[in-house]
Structure 1
Amino acid sequence: MDSLKDLFIPQMEIALMLYTRNNLNCAEPLFEQNGSLNVNFSTNKKTVWLIHGYRPTGSTPSWVQNFLRTLLNREDMNIIVVDWNRGATTFLYSRAVKNTRRVAWSLSGYIRNLLKYGASLDNFHFIGMSLGAHISGFVGKIFQGQLGRITGLDPAGPKFSGRPSNVRLDYTDAKFVDVIHSDTNGLGIKEPLGHIDFYPNGGKKQPGCPKSIFSGIEFIKCNHQRAVHLFMASLETNCNFISFPCSSYEDFKAGLCVNCEKFKEKSCPRLGYQAELWKDVLKERKEKQFLKTTVFLDTSGTSPFCNHHFAYTILYL
């Protein structure tokens, strides 16, 4: 009966589950019952916060386990999985949206506690999927943009599109904000929000996703979740998701955007974990020239989603 009630009137309950290389297969609470910090948490290492999105039926996000394993395989870090399932599980999406602010305020208390133990905001990388991206933004606002990095994985569009920057994820919420848009015609948000915004395959329809509603739930969530799988692929493979700055996907497809000289010796930015390498030049573009950096790339339809771009120049003599 309680679980049925949660679908309509969700209870707020947040669990912070810690994973490190020392406890890769078994989550442990970030704080012990007596309030002390888990011994596996290292204040000197990077800390990734993974935050899921809307869960209408209360199921556990299928991508989280693989995601954290891939991250820990790449780098020795702390990973905190933010489980706010009881606030995200509701048939009323607007209730889950309202709960995002409450989750952020709750997280801020835990973060202040971590700072007392010697942790650093600059070492925090928030990775939020859908509503989780906006939760990350709200946490960033509470700490006045001092978080090290926020990655928005297809930030939720409904209730956030067209809204001012103070009620959604924004580039001012962290020292570096990168966003992947994979479902702008559906569950994701279309407008650029970060220091850099990636639009794989134009950001609307992803190759390999079902085109018919008769495919069931996959038709609804495939495009939306592709942002997660692309970010994971950037960690798992040698595929470099090279992306090209352009004003539109149409211009990109027409071959009009192959010049990356503005990014100096680093050349074109790459989608995913490596995007941070372009942090300084992107911040400079945003702060000095108020330029939004929208970048486009094409991917294949199956994992690891690699595609190679070729530009041909035909000279008429």
Structure 2
Amino acid sequence: MKTFILLALCALAASAYALDEADRVNGENGWYVPQQDGTFEWVDKDVAEDWMEKQELLESRGLTTVPVTFYLYTSSNPTKGQKIKANYNSINNSNFNSGNPTRFVIHGWTQSYTAGMNKAIRNAWLSQGDYNVIVVDWARARSIDYATSVMAVAATGKKVANMINFLNSDFGMSLDNLYVIGHSLGAHVSGYAGRTPMARSTPSSAWTPHFPSSATTRPTSVSAPPTPGMWSPIQTNGGNLGFLKPIGKGAFYPNGGKTQPGCFLDVTGACSHGRSTTYYAEAVSQDNFGTIKCGDYQAAVNDQCGSTYSGVRMGADTNAYMVAGDFYVPVNSNSPYGMIN
């Protein structure tokens, strides 16, 4: 533990030599990361990546651990999760059914498996039929020190990948209809899970993990090489707690992607940031988010895409494979948030 704390302090000390403010581009060469008091602190991209490399090294040497717990929900236990492990007896004695599609849901910083986003997304999928919904609880996310949580991202992603591999190899879980859904820092956990070799997946050198994102990674299948094209992000707080430039082949910009209607006095951006999961859950259950195709992301941000609705719905199952481009998404200030033509 002392070693871990020392490295965390070293990482924070390194941020003292951050880029000059004029050179900072949030989401490209670094990030403004949230603090407990609502302020933001700049961290260079290479510093953040160094945090994760140090954590991986520590865990590989047994000097620290990243606790990760998995909770399974099905139509047989829709509200009370079954704690499962990557071993035969645990899965065999659970309600896991390899004949049903599987959804992994990964929360973000300061959250746990009991977070409202997990409940909303879980209920949305189970309302659509028989699914294995596996909520990932990674304890390091609850650290009040953001650096500590960031350092755990890669190791957590590997543990998610190990569970996926086990369910695929030992229980026949299909990778063709597997979705990994992550919010905020959890989106980057899902990215690292996708980088880990799986039964039918080879990490792609083109894949670049991003954090911290203000996007819910709309079903990210791992049945093919994980590339940026596999992401269909819902970007709701770009330039503040997330990216503004598109981070997927098909990117969605509700209300232009910066702030969301109904989020009053949203100084820290937390309300707009969280709307991505609210929108996603509604999209799964109601499929009611019409979109307008834009020439580029700047047009989407500035609501300069016209008024003609496209045939694409935000949150639709085919988006990860079929959708390319940037889309402006009109939204309401209250539920139901989606608008359809």
TM-score (norm 1): 0.72
Q: Does 2:339 correspond to 1:307? A: yes
Q: Give the structure with the larger strand fraction.
A: 2
Aligned to 1:224, what secondary structure does the other structure show? helix
- State the match for 2:53 in structure 1: none
Query: Residue 122 of structure 2: SS of its match in structure 1?
Result: helix
2:281 is aligned with what amino acid?
M
- Take 1:45 and 1:104, find their aligned partners in 2: how far apart are those partners? 23
Q: Is the 8 A contact 1:245 1:257 kept in 2?
A: no
Give 1:121 deviation, angstroms. 2.0
Which 10-residue stretch deviates more, 34-43 or 294-303? Answer: 34-43
1:107 aligns with 2:174: no
2:124 match = 70
Tell me which of 91, 99, 106 is aligned to 2:144.
91
Identity percentage over the alignment? Answer: 25
1:14 partner amino acid: V
- Pairs within 5 Å for 1:146-295: 156-157=211-212, 172-173=226-227, 176-211=230-265, 213=267, 219-237=268-286, 239-248=288-297, 250=299, 253-256=303-306, 258=308, 267-272=310-315, 274=316, 276-282=317-323, 293-295=325-327
Which amino acid in 2 is paired with 1:157?
Answer: P
Deviations 1:66-121 (A, max 9, x none): 3211210112110000000x211122212211101010112222222212221122
Q: Distance in 2 between matches of 1:243 and 1:256?
A: 7
- Whole-Å separation in 2 of the counterparts to 1:145 and 1:136: 17
CA distance 1:255–1:55, change in 2 (3 Å): closer
- 1:28-86 CA-to-partner distances (Å, cap 9, x unmatched) read 12238874414411112110000001117x794222223211210112110000000x2
Whether contact under 8 Å (2:250, 2:319) holds in the other structure is: no
Residue number among 25, 29, 49 corresponding to 2:104 in the alignment: 49
**Equivalent residues of 1:50, 1:128 under 8 A apart:** yes
Shift of the 61–199 alpha-carbon distance from structure 1 to 2, 3 Å rule, reads same
CA contact (8 A) 2:232 2:319 kept: no
Q: How many residues align?
A: 260
SS of corresponding position for 1:82:
strand
How many angstroms does 1:197 deviate by? 0.8
SS of residue in 1 equivalent to 2:232 = strand
Question: Could you report, residue by residue, the CA deviation over 1:195-248 in whole angstroms, capped at 9, with x for unpaired residues?
Answer: 3110111100111102354xxxxx541010011111112133362433423314
Secondary structure class of the residue paired with 2:276? helix
Unaligned runs of 5+ in 1: 148-154, 161-170, 214-218, 261-266, 283-291, 310-317
